[in-house]
Amino acid sequence: MLMNAAAAYQGNKVMTASPAELTLMLYDGAIKFCNIAIMAIEKDDKEKANLNIIKAENIIMEFRNTLDMSQPISKELDLLYDYIYRRLIDANIKKDKEIIEEVLGYLRELRDTWKEAMKEAN
């Protein structure tokens, strides 16, 4: 019962979120999946690590696919997202938590910058 309520709340939160809030949720999701992957690697759970790294990769690909390339910043972001994506693939192949830690640094910085931009826009 509680799980259904939590799922309904989360679904409602996504459905009513602005595009800026959805972007923030995606950054948070990528960070969460990377953290889960690190814990899975530490427990030698390769399947769980693989699944969560792929979830983070999918979020990065979504960011890349939705960039407005007419904006100058988009070209820079595309290069950064491409680098992050390739590092995640490398981390998944090697099951290397240090690579994921590197990726987490970029993701946290991007999320924090996005949060600041949202504050300034309001």
Query: What is the DSSP annotation of 32-85?
Result: HHHHHHHHHHHTT-HHHHHHHHHHHHHHHHHHHHT--TTSHHHHHHHHHHHHHH
pLDDT at residue 12, rounded to an integer: 65
Domain boundaries of the chain, sorted by first residue = 2-121
CATH code reported for the domain at 2-121:
1.20.120.340
pLDDT in tens, 6-53: 566 556 676 778 999 999 999 999 999 999 999 999 999 999 999 999
Bigger pLDDT: 75 vs 4: 75
Say whether pTM exceeds 0.75.
yes
pLDDT at residue 122, rounded to an integer: 84
pLDDT in tens, 103-116: 999 999 999 999 99
